[in-house]
Structure 1
Amino acid sequence: MDNSRYQNCHIEMKNVNKDIVAWLETVIDENNSKIDKKEWKSRYNSYVVYDYEPFCSEGFEINLKISSHNSAYLDFIKYLYDEKLHTLEYLKNCMDSPSYAKKD
């Protein structure tokens, strides 16, 4: 693969939800983009940064640097990610609402 064509456009996504990282990686791949950098950064010590998933990933945020030859792909990836987060938050709020409580 010719990596030079991906050098034009970049976005950084900070503190990616670890439960949807695999989904996001698939979306990135499907949209003619690639992950240039994936890191786990400690929330408690800014000097602790790994380029691989630590044994215990609690207390770490996942940051991605994504590139593409066209910024429209990156905008679309960001849009899909934001919509996914909004949908998950909406569903969580629905589950937490009193009207959803189980009836015996």
Structure 2
Amino acid sequence: MNWIILIIAGLFEVAFASCLGKAKETTGSEMYAWYAGFFVSLTISMLLLVKATQTLPIGTAYAVWTGIGAVGTALMGIFIFKDPVNFWRIFFIFTLIASIIGLKVVSH
């Protein structure tokens, strides 16, 4: 169950990073709404990370959490923010995914 909580926490990390990106693109009340989304997502992500680390090793949980955030944010950048795509970018996204899966496999 805590692996599911950790994955959800990682998805909220993607959400707070994406909210920062959208806030940077907007002004006025829309910008403040994106910042509000950032703070809500950040809070939920951190609370879920704390919950997951009650039973999972902290090093593994943190690495998986940041890995999900990094991969998710990179993919959001590509698909939403039109970041550039090239072979090496995709290659390293896949190595991050492999590392996340590897940590899950070798954790007790």
Structure with the higher fraction of residues in strand conformation: 1
Structure with the higher fraction of residues in helix conformation: 2
